[in-house]
Amino acid sequence: MMDFDVIVIGAGAAGLFFAGLAAQKGMKVLVLDHREKIGEKIRISGGGRCNFTNIYSQPSNFLSQNPHFAKSALARFTPDDFLKLVRKYGIPYHEKKMGQMFCDHSAQDIIDMLFALCPEQYVTFQLGQPVQAVQRQEDKFT
C-alpha cells in the first residue's frame, strides 16, 4: 500500500487544480474519482467549450454563510490569474457575454491543461472506483 501526503476525492476542475498545486510543493497526491475519465463535468460545461472563468467575478456574486470566504479565495487566485495560466498553455479563448470566458476549441483544452499540472511522479489517479467510506486510523486516513 502506498502512502500519500494528500488524497483528493474528485477529478473535476477543483480536484485537478488542487492536485497540481500540491504536486508543485512536492507532495504525493492520490486523486480518486468514480468516473472512468478525469474532468467529465468540465467536458460538458459551456456546451462543450467550458465556461472556465468570469472576468467580472467579485465576492458580492457569491452567497455563503461565511461572506469572507469568497473575498479571501478571489484575492488569492483571481480570474486574471487563471487567464494567465490559460495563455501560458496556449489555449485560445474568447469572451462570450458579461465576462464569461470560453475555449475557442473545446473544453478538452482545459482538461489537458489541468492534467498537465499533475506530474505523474507526484500524482496518482484511481478512476472508475467510487469512494465508499473514509476512515481515520491514528494519524492516517484509509
Q: Is residue 137 part of a domain?
A: no
Q: Per the structure, how many domains does the chain have?
A: 1
Predicted model pTM: 0.89
Q: Is residue 83 part of a domain?
A: yes
List the CATH number of the domain containing 24: 3.50.50.60
Query: What whole-number distance in Å separates Cα of residue 70 and Cα of residue 47?
Result: 26
Q: Is residue 140 part of a domain?
A: no
Long-range CB pairs of 82-85 (<8 Å, 24+ gap) are: 82/52, 82/53, 83/53, 83/55, 85/113
Is residue 44's pLDDT more than 90?
yes
Q: Is residue 84 part of a domain?
A: yes
Q: Is residue 136 part of a domain?
A: no
Q: Is residue 139 part of a domain?
A: no
63 or 2, which is more confident? 63
Q: Is residue 138 part of a domain?
A: no
Query: What whole-number distance in Å separates Cα of residue 18 and Cα of residue 81?
Result: 15
Q: Is residue 142 part of a domain?
A: no
Contact 89, 80 (CB under 8 A): no
Q: Tell me the CA end-to-end span of the chain in Å, nearest whole number.
A: 10
Where in the sequence is the domain holding 62, given as residue range(s)? 6-131
Segment 112-141, tens digit of pLDDT: 999 999 999 999 999 998 999 988 888 877
